[in-house]
Structure 1
């Protein structure tokens, strides 16, 4: 083991343990130095109120950056000032000079807006505006409001001179075309206190908008001007409305090149209108012009371009001379050829024109012209006419009068205003007028060589009972009149140039009547030019233009203008006749003539064109060559149809009446009618026509029946076709003649005519029915009383369907109502009047018969069992009395008559079919009429009757013993009629069963019957 080596070292005189205290001392010294070097600067800010200032919270800011804090608050000894101790950052020390400014920022709400909105969250704070200076200051007084912009702030500084401040305040905005381009930063009185100087700053990017001729005006609030013509409202923005503002505009004329320097001064105008600039011209106004300085405007096409500034009386001219300020934009147009005139409000039948000027007064209008530049003009009392240099179409119109063709009267096309009347003057012939009208450029193409002009105004009515039309002009034309035109052909007509001449027509109808036809008419007809119309059917195609006497003064030469579209109506065989408002059968014109006055009617013909005719006194009859099926109808009695009345089939119109003429006998009427070609097949030679005019009313005890064909036939009369008897294998031909029946019922009643003679004068009317058991089989067509007044001869029309009523044994009698204590008979005659009853015969056909005054006895009817009772006297039995079995009606009395020897009476009965098994050959019949009374002193009184009906009306009863099928009564069996029943008969109680072969229905069990049976 080696010996250990010993190392010897020198020990430091300072121990390392001292390094830590030294380091601590150095850090402390550093902190002291740093604290001293970065220590804030204390200042005092004086303010009048500590509201919203909190020590340890209220900050001091510069451009939003915190640079200090309020550390303490105190008051001065006089308690008038609050001292706020503020510690600012050291970096601000160099700016704490006499020029630095402080002010308190707090939330403010005013009409100009909201400021200091951030303080709502952070609280109030002081804002600092650092400014270098020569002296350090530690006490400051807070400004009451933010300081104005500095004169070296970026942008253009402008000074405005205003008579009063108005609503402009610090921060008011500056607008250009409603965009904010700057703001007001201060204002103060001028040195002499005569006006206010307002300083504003235009932002740098907008400084080029300001020129030396720029005009500023107060744009605060709302600027409103107005009169009766309307209101004008002007504002810049909502901010300027609430908080005030200034706007500016630079006119195009003036110095726009010189650069504007800072603090250039401008006047501030009160409003936009005052700020406008213009060119002053001199205008000479006529007497009584009523102009007003500052109010009378110069207006062009509804736009205000000038205003009268001042005027003086001009003795030499007899009016006033005014200075008028004109918009500078019109300077190139102020030439000597300009026309100025005065526009005044006017009140007339046409209404009130220029009503907006009633309160604001007249205004000056003008028309641009040519010539040399001028600054002096004459103002005319009214608008001058346009000359031919004006763009548009200038036309000359020849008119008979100018009643409503004054200057400015409108020209219409289809009620659209397209121009106006410019001027009129007396023509060279001294009988007419030349009217100058102007068509506006955009409507020139509406006029060509086919155009026709006519007076516009009033109301034109054309009509008939079938239809009518009312044409009215525009309201303006109704009141003031005017001119209208219609262009007939846009494709084939040539254009016209300025100065083209047209003729003025009285109305559109006359204007369209370009063709002419003449007629010779009797002087007795009152044909009136302009009123008497020419018609083709229902179409109005022309009007009488003139009426002149012929050379011999025996007739009139009538000139008619008509539309060229109808030129082919007038040929060699054409006819023209007059239609008068006359409702007599001989000349029925219809209600059309009643409404419009008499008119002329034309019927087209064949051959070459012709323009001269002789007027017919009545409508010509239709001819076979006319279109459609031409027929003749013969009416024995009057008719209410007229020309144009419809002919219907199953209520569909198939034709019309052409003419209605009274025959020479004065009793019958001939009618000419046309069936439309497409309905020709509906008319056969056996077809029937009847009147269908108005209402066909039938009334009886069963009810009321009203029939009509159509509304047209009600108003105008009409005919109807009945084809119940038509034979379509034998169609009607041209000009066939038909009888016209009074109504549809008469057609069915038409058949064989017979005569019935009564041996005395009877009460009967033409048209009375011929009835069989309530069914009408004919009618009385005519009646004739003999000259000796001893008999009546009737002509009866019996339907062809009932030939058995015209056989030799047929009996006719007069039916009239009967009333007695026992009964009422033939009550129908009370309502329909007396009529003829009939009973069919069985002999040969005949046409002459004897009439009975009473109904013959009815002996049998087809059904049931017909029996005959014999008795010595009739008693109270009457036809239709009941036949009773056990007081049940099982039949009726048909008739009663004397027997052949006249020594007795035959009573004819009919037992109903369902009860004929109740009568046997052994049955006993007795009179059941009235009441049987038996009375005795000791037995009392006994009253017997069959039924209440027999008490009043009478009747027959019978009883039957036991019987069988072989003993049943048959047709024609006779029985005696007893006055009363034997008591033993009344005890009969037989079982009378209906034969099985006659039972067609199963038995129905009645209550109480044996259900097992």
Structure 2
């Protein structure tokens, strides 16, 4: 560089570095100004106690927003604590003389829980900011939150109360149990006679308060009750604990004009005191027992009034009471209203109005006409209803009224439908007229066919077969009453007020509205109201009156009977007397032993008739009688008599008409009648049997008892079965049927066979005939021939097994036997010896030669039947198992000698599920007993097919692998050799044999 290229510059007199202090000074000035302008304001709040207040922790809040913080605490004196608080700058303009501070801390009282958030955050000051003209820096803390301002939004009302009770600041105000406001203040009135309670109703609900609205103290629980029940009234849980006020607007009065601010209302003590009503005066009789504030006026179970107060009535006696009535009744308060006192009553009929035993009497009334009035006389008891009263009014003619008094109930089917209103003696001085009132909703139950009777006590009807006890309601049993029954709702006509009815002694007498007369001999004893008229087993009437006949040696009976049986009494109708008779087959006579003689009727034909002569015994059977007439024939009568029931499936369907000897004198003929509606159950092959008494059979297996029904045990009976009948082939009049001695005899009725055994056998009458364990017949007779060398057995084989009576069938004698190998026919130990049979396949046969040994069974209808040949039987027996790999797959059916007696033939059956295991190459061997192989060095080896084969024997077989034509499938009847022992190589075969 040369000197000519040098650049020369002049330096500024003030360096730029001095700008930094200037900027810093400006920032400091700005921060100082910001700190002063945004800084808080310190104020002092005086409190009574510093409990829960912590410096630099306790906050000042407004609606939950923090506007200040406690800085320090100091004592002004021993009673005052000075709390220095730094308030936010935003709150400066609200620190006026009108602003307020108070300390919020947890408070638990009956009214509820407040300040609950302080449990976590600690106590804090609540600030109520109010702008004002004068700024303050020192405040007195309020002891409680300030009350609502009188200009707070909502409706302000003032309530007058005698005492505050549990109502306090913040107590809720309810409308229909919804909180609609609260109490925000209270003070004594100027004269200190009552309290003024300031209430604020929320804006949303202020329209609910009208000029005639009524307020009451709803604090706690309001409970009223007596024996009829309890009523508990409360507004909410809060009002129960902390007090509250409720209000409602009555339906009467001005319900349109709403209240204005600071309208004053009385505060009633409870809801009942708050209710509006009409005041009336009632004159009560002596000893009425009414109580002010408790005795109520009740109409049809609804409370409509309350006795408010009463004074003694010096002129009439008793008391005169002031009663508040429901204003809705005001139009009905007329001079002809009837009021009466209802008291609890304890009598033989029970306790009435039991709910009034503790709560006292109440007043009931009946509406009436007349002019408006506010004063009434209260009667001591309910007055009778007049005929003008709504409902049906009837006159009942009765011989006595000892079971009927005013208010006694009237029943229909044990339902109370009315009451007895009044009764008086008629002009004849012998009967009474009883006024009954039927409630309007039940008057349609009465018509011209209705019958009335005394209701009370018990009515018993019955026989040895059954009996009924009819009981009146308990109220009628103890105190009496009247009941009625309407015979026909279709044919009966309506009745009007004042209609006359007769009163009967009981329902039976009341229903017997039809009548006949009977000429009867004086030799019989009849009792009015007791002697019955029966149709079959049904009581349809009874003797009403007994008058002497013209000859004085007879009597004329008037019989009342039920109208339902009017068609029984025709020209050919027969009526006879049933006298006491002790007989197992004659229930009518046995029943007469208990209830006396009675009359029996048999329906007839022709024109209607109402006068008869009494027969001394039951008439003979008439084939033209209704029903199906049949004739049964038996070897003896079995104790059956006329009237014995005939049962089908344990239900009576007919009866025996006549029991007499058959025409040949060798048996008995029984004429029976099956009721017409059951005729369809009798076919040409229907079987009848004796079902009387109890049939018992006993053996070592136990005791078995059979009977058709309890009726059949007591009185005997016949029954029939259609197990073998074709009901399309109906029986006709006077068809003849055999009568079997028992159901069992009837069941096995079929084909009779004769079996001749060539030796005497131990076999009893009624022994079983069995096939494969099933009873297929029964022995009916057992006889020895003249030289005692043979036994001839007669047996009945069920007809449904015809193959058992065909040629080729075999019968043999079965008795139990015990051996080491097995127990044969062990069931015979319990039921006795019996006959076994296997079917044949030829023509029908009735004579068979009986066997004393069991014949071989060669095949079964299912499974694979095989024939095995062996040189001897060994220990094999029918029933022994057939094994494959020690699993039983079949059984031995039978064993017999071959044709030339050089060996035996063994018949076996392999079950269907295992028939594929047998192939042409299969080897069969005798698996009975034990195979023992012993050696000095090899030890002892014991081989057996199974434990069972050790004692009873058995057969095993093995099948080789299918590698040649000799191993193909076999058919039933295939013959195999039965080897004495098993080849060890056979046991090693493992063919895969799959079931096809």
| TM-score scaled by length of structure 2 | 0.66
**Which piece of structure 1 moves more, 697-706 or 143-152?**
697-706
Residue in structure 2 matched with residue 472 of structure 1 by the alignment: 471
Counterparts of 1:394-405 in structure 2, within 5 Å, are 394-405=393-404
1:417-455 Cα shifts (integer Å, max 9, x gaps): 333333333334433333333333333333333333333
* Paired residue secondary structure (2:461): strand
Q: Deviations over 1:902-931 (max 9, x none)?
A: xxxxxxxxxxx99xxxxxxxxxxxxxxxxx
Q: Please name the residue that 1:223 is paired with.
A: 222
- Alignment match, 2:437: 438
Aligned to 2:3: none
Query: Which residue in the other structure is 2:64 paired with?
Result: 64
The aligned runs of 1:551-590 (5 Å cut-off) are 551-583=550-582, 589-590=588-589
Which deviates the most, 244-253 or 83-92?
83-92
Instruction: Give runs of aligned pairs for residues 296-307 of structure 1, distance below 5 A.
Output: 296-307=295-306
Residue 294 of structure 2 aligns to a residue in which SS? coil
* 1:462 is the counterpart of 2:449: no
On the 8 A contact 2:588/2:643 being kept in 1, the answer is no
In the alignment, the residues of structure 2 paired with residue 112 and residue 141 of structure 1 have an alpha-carbon distance, to the nearest angstrom, of: 26
SS in 1 for 2:341: strand
Q: In 2 relative to 1, CA 683–540 (structure 1 residues): closer, same or farther, beyond 3 Å?
A: farther
Cα shift at 1:571: 0.9
Show CA shifts across 1:511-538 (max 9, x none): 3333221111223333223322211112
1:632-651 equivalences in 2 (<5 Å): 640-646=639-645
Q: CA deviation at 1:24?
A: 6.8
| 1-structure distance, mates of 2:680, 2:552 | 48
Secondary structure at 1:461 match in 2: strand
- Distance in 1 separating the partners of 2:680 and 2:94: 117
Deviations 1:680-732 (A, max 9, x none): 87699xx9x99874457899999999886764333103468999xxxxx9x99
Instruction: Name the CA distance, whole Å, in 1 between partners of 2:487 and 2:700.
Output: 65
| Structure 1 residues 712 and 97, CA gap change in structure 2 (3 angstroms) | closer
The answer to whether the 8 A contact 1:399-1:434 is kept is yes
Distance 1:395 1:14 in 2: 137
Q: How does 1:343-492 map to 2 (within 5 A)?
A: 343-492=342-491
Q: Unaligned regions of 5+ residues in structure 2, if any?
A: 1-10, 662-666, 723-728, 749-759, 766-779, 792-851, 854-896, 907-925, 931-979, 982-996
Q: Which residue number in structure 2 is paired with residue 160 of structure 1?
A: 159
2:817 corresponds in structure 1 to: none
Measured at CA, do residues 635 and 601 of structure 1 come closer, stay the same or move farther in structure 2, by a change above 3 Å? farther
What are the equivalent positions in structure 2 for 1:100-499 lying under 5 Å apart? Answer: 100-133=99-132, 135-191=134-190, 193-254=192-253, 260-499=259-498
> Cα 1:400–1:326, aligned 2, differ >3 Å: closer, same or farther?
same
Q: 1:26 to 1:115 in 2, by over 3 A?
A: same
Q: Distance in 2 between matches of 1:671 and 1:237?
A: 86
Q: Indicate the larger mover: 690-699 or 527-536.
A: 690-699
Cα distance in 1 for partners of 2:702, 2:89 equals 125
Q: Deviations over 1:90-129 (max 9, x none)?
A: 4544443333211112333333223234445544322222
Aligned twin of 2:52? 52
Secondary structure of the corresponding residue to residue 205 of structure 2: helix
Q: Who is 2:75 aligned against?
A: 76
Cα distance in structure 1, aligned partners of 2:732 and 2:186: 113
The Cα shift of 1:76 comes to 1.5
Q: Secondary structure at the match of 2:206?
A: helix
Other structure's SS at 1:181 match: strand
Name the CA shift for 1:50/1:235 in 2 (closer, same or farther; >3 Å). same
Cα distance change, pair 562–33 in 1 and its aligned pair in 2 (3 A): same
Report the CA distance shift for 1:625/1:492 in structure 2 as closer, same or farther (over 3 A): closer
CA distance in 2 between counterparts of 1:275 and 1:617 reads 85
2:542 counterpart residue number: 543
Q: Is the 8 A contact 1:101 1:128 kept in 2?
A: yes
Q: How far apart in 1 are the matches of 2:125 and 2:145?
A: 11
**1:56/1:69 contact within 8 Å kept:** no
Is the deviation greater in 603-612 or in 397-406? 397-406
Q: CA deviation digits over 1:148-168, x for unaligned, max 9?
A: 112222223233333332221
The alignment covers a number of residue pairs equal to 765
Shift of the 483–172 alpha-carbon distance from structure 1 to 2, 3 Å rule, reads same
Superposed counterparts of 1:503-542, under 5 Å: 503-542=502-541
CA contact (8 A) 1:583 1:589 kept: no
Once the two structures are TM-superposed, the CA of residue 241 in structure 1 deviates from its matched residue by 1.4
What does 1:663-702 correspond to in 2, within 5 Å?
A: 673-674=672-673, 693-694=692-693
Q: Give me the whole-angstrom Cα distance separating, in 2, the residues matched to 1:649 and 1:500.
A: 49
Q: Secondary structure at the match of 2:77?
A: coil
Q: Following TM superposition, by how much is the alpha carbon of 1:306 offset from its aligned partner in structure 2, in angstroms?
A: 2.0
Per-residue displacement from partner, 1:256-287 (whole Å, max 9, x unpaired)?
56664443433322222232343322212223
Aligned-pair distance for 1:302? 2.0
Deviation, 1:176, is 1.5
1:865 equivalent in structure 2: none
What SS is found at the alignment partner of 2:477?
helix
Counterpart CA distance in 2 for 1:692 and 1:71 is 111
Q: Is the 8 A contact 2:451 2:485 kept in 1?
A: yes
Change (3 A) 1:735 1:555: farther
Correspondence for 2:874: none
Contact 1:590/1:643 (<8 A) preserved: no
**Change beyond 3 A, Cα 1:650–1:267:** closer
* Cross-structure match for 1:8: none
Contact 2:44 2:85 in 1 (8 A): yes
Q: Is the CA contact (8 Å cut-off) linking 1:73 and 1:82 kept in structure 2?
A: no
